[in-house]
Amino acid sequence: MSNANQAMAARYKNNFLKEIEEQAEMGEWVKMCMQCGVCSGSCPTHFHPGWEHPPQEIFMMIRAGKREEVLTSPSMWMCTSCYNCYVRCPRKLPITHIMHGIAEYAYRLGLAPKMQPTLHLSQTFWRNCTKTGRVNEVRLTQSLYFKDGFMAGIKKGLEMKDVALGLIKAKRLNILEALGFGHKCKDQQGIQKMLAKARELEAKRKNRQVTA
């Protein structure tokens, strides 16, 4: 167990619902779920393998105190943000955002499944984009393609070659980004300051633990 995880588990002993309400973004909505099933039935990912628990079940598991199972589940990370559930929920729960809130909380505690593709993308994207204030698309793509090893990366790259060439032609992709050139924000220090401030505010709010 990570320190943060231990601390939270001790602080909310046997009251996982309260923990989610206070710690996860939009977590206060969980108790409003009436278990109708519309979200689960509307979720496109639920009709594909790899999706353990639909949102409705996640919400019930939270109430049932299944802390480990929820926080280590890949389910929240499978959400495609299609918003089907969100617009249909009869109780108007912001389901998509709750799913992301729980996912982010699990990540903060170090419980999110390692090398989960969505998590990997989020991390890579965040690091890439906050570095200069602009996304370095070539490097982002590289790190995603080569996630599963060198050969897999080459294969993927060849598959997507025509798309890449098309993007370069249309001036939507700058190949020089591979060498660290390309678009950047002017005031890069300012960006870092802004992010630091945002973290500080988030930490104050509800006394949450925040990610570095």
Partner 1 sequence: MTSVVATNQTILVVGGGISGMTAALEAAETGKRVVLVERNPWLGGRTAQLYRYFPKMCHPTCGLEINLRRLKANPNIQVLTLAEVTGISGTKGDYTVTVKLTPRYVNERCTACGECAKAVSTEIPDAFNYNLGRIKAAYLPHSMAYPMRYVIDKSIIGTPEAEAARAACKYGAIDLDQQEEVISLKAGAIVWATGWKPYDAEKITPYRYGEFPNVITNVEFERLADPHGPTGGRILRPSDGREAKNIAFIQCAGSRDENHLRHCSRFCCMASLKQTHYVQEKYGDEAKSTIYYIDIRAIDRFEDFYAKVKANPNVTFIKSKVARISQDKEMNPICWGVNTEGYKRYSNTHDLVVLAVGMEPEVKGVDIPAEVMSDSSGFIMADPANAGIFGAGCATNALDVNRAVQSATAAALRAIQVVNKLARAEA
Q: What are phi and psi of 127, to 5 degrees?
A: -60, -45
How far, in Å, CA of 48 to CA of 93, rounded? 23
Residue with the two structure tokens 């979720």? 43
Q: Is 119 in the site for ligand SF4 (CB under 6 A)?
A: no
DSSP 210: -
Which of ligand SF4, partner 1, none does residue 33 bind (CB under 5 to 8 Å by kind)? ligand SF4
Q: Is 5 in the site for ligand SF4 (CB under 6 A)?
A: no
Which of ligand SF4, partner 1, none does residue 57 bind (CB under 5 to 8 Å by kind)? partner 1
Which of partner 1, ligand SF4, none does residue 47 bind (CB under 5 to 8 Å by kind)? partner 1
* Comparison of 53 and 108: residue with beta carbon closer to partner 1: 53
Residue with the two structure tokens 């005031």? 187
Q: Which of 20, 24, 58, 85 binds ligand SF4 (CB under 6 A)?
A: 85
Q: Closest Cα to residue 207, out of 17, 5, 19, 9?
A: 19
Q: Are 51 and 45 in contact (CB under 8 A)?
A: yes
Q: Is 99 in the site for ligand SF4 (CB under 6 A)?
A: yes
Q: Which two tokens stand for residue 152?
A: 């897999």
* Comparison of 39 and 103: residue with beta carbon closer to partner 1: 39
Q: Which of 11, 37, 163, 183 binds ligand SF4 (CB under 6 A)?
A: 37
